[in-house]
Chain A
Amino acid sequence: MERETLLVVGRPSERLLAKLEAAVAPMGMVVGESP
C-alpha cells in the first residue's frame, strides 16, 4: 500500500514539527518539509 506523505509548507517551530512527526508516525505517515 502506498505510504502517505504530509508535506508541511512553511516553517513551524522545531517543537511543533516534532509534535506533528510524533503524531503521524504511528499512522505510518512521513512528514516532509518544503524548502
Chain B
Amino acid sequence: MILGWSTSGELLRQVLAIAPRVRWVHDVWAGMDHLPLDALRGSRAVLTNARGVFSQALGEWVLAAILYFAKDFRKLVKDQTEGRWVPYHPAAVAGQTVGILGYGDIGRAVAGQARALGMRVLGMTRTGPLPKQTDNLAEQIFAPADRIRMIEQCDYLVIAAPLTPETRGMVGEAEIAAMKPDAVLINIGRGPIVSEGALVRALSAGKIKGAALDVFDTEPLPAGHPFFALENVLVSPHSADRTAGWLDRAVQLFLDNLERYRRGQPLANVLDKDRGY
C-alpha cells in the first residue's frame, strides 16, 4: 500500500509505474487535483484521502473571513496603527446569505459555522438538490447550471469545491457580475475555479466589496500580484487548514483506515477515480 504525502503527482506516478501489485493508495491531503488520476485509473488500487480532516478548520477560517469584512477589521487595525479614533458602523451578519459553491464535507462545515451566526445558507453541488434528510443546514441546494440564481442572492459567496474539469473556471465574468456590489467572495477551494483576471478587474473597479483568498492560480502568489496591493483583498498563503495537529489528524485518519483494511472492512473516504473526488 502507498501513503501519499507529496503534493506533486509526478513522484506518485513514477512509483505506481513500478508497483503494479499495490492494492491501496491513501493520500494525506483533501484535494485530488495534484494526483496522477490517469495513472491511478490504470491501477487496481483503491484510492482514499483525508476528506473531513481539514473541514472544521476551513469552516472556521471562512467564519473569520466573513467577520473580517463585516466588522472591517482592516480599518480598525489601520486606525489603531495610526493612533486614530474614528467611530464607524460594522455590518451585521445575522440574516445575511452565504452561498457555498461546492456543498460537500467542507461546504457543510462552512454551513454549520454560518448557521451558528444566524445566517441563511444556500449551496451548490454537482448533483443539485439533495434529499431533505441529508442536510438541515442549507435552505436550498442548486445544480451547477443554476449557480447564477444562487450567486445573485449571496452576501458572501464561498468557493469550497474540488478542482475538476467541471469546476475549473466555474466562477468567471458572468458569475462575478451577478454578485451584489456589497458581496464578498471567499475561496478555500482551488484558485483556478475562479477566473483570477475577472476577479482582479471586479475588485479593482469596486464592483464587489472584497475577497478573502486562501488559494490561487499560482502558489506562492507571485511578487507584485495585484491581490497583494488591493485593500479589499485578504490574502492567505494556503494555510487556512493548518491548525495545530493538522497532520497528526491526517495520520490518525490513515491509521484508522489501516485498521479497517486489516480487518477486511470497507475503507472510509474512498474516492471516485473517474470523477476526480
Query: Which of A's residues lie within 8 Å of B, judged by CB?
Result: 4-13, 16, 19-20, 23-24, 27, 34
Contacts and interface: CB of A to CB of B under 8 A. Distances in A.
A27 B28 CA distance: 21
A9 B123 CA distance: 35
B247 A24 contact: no
A12 B2 CA distance: 13
Interface string B1-40: 1111111000110010001001000001000000000000
Given A7-B1, A7-B15, A19-B248, 14 more contacts: A5-B1, A6-B2, A6-B3, A7-B3, A8-B3, A9-B2, A9-B11, A10-B7, A11-B6, A12-B247, A12-B251, A16-B248, A20-B251, A34-B6
B255 interface: yes
By DSSP majority rule, is chain A's interface helix, strand, loop, or mixed?
Answer: mixed
Given A16-B247, A16-B251, A23-B255, A9 B15 contact: yes
Contacts of A5: 1
- Assign chain B's interface to a size class: 10 to 19
Contacts of A6: 1-3
A7 B11 CA distance: 12
9 contacts: A7-B22, A10-B5, A10-B6, A10-B7, A11-B5, A19-B248, A20-B3, A23-B255, A34-B11
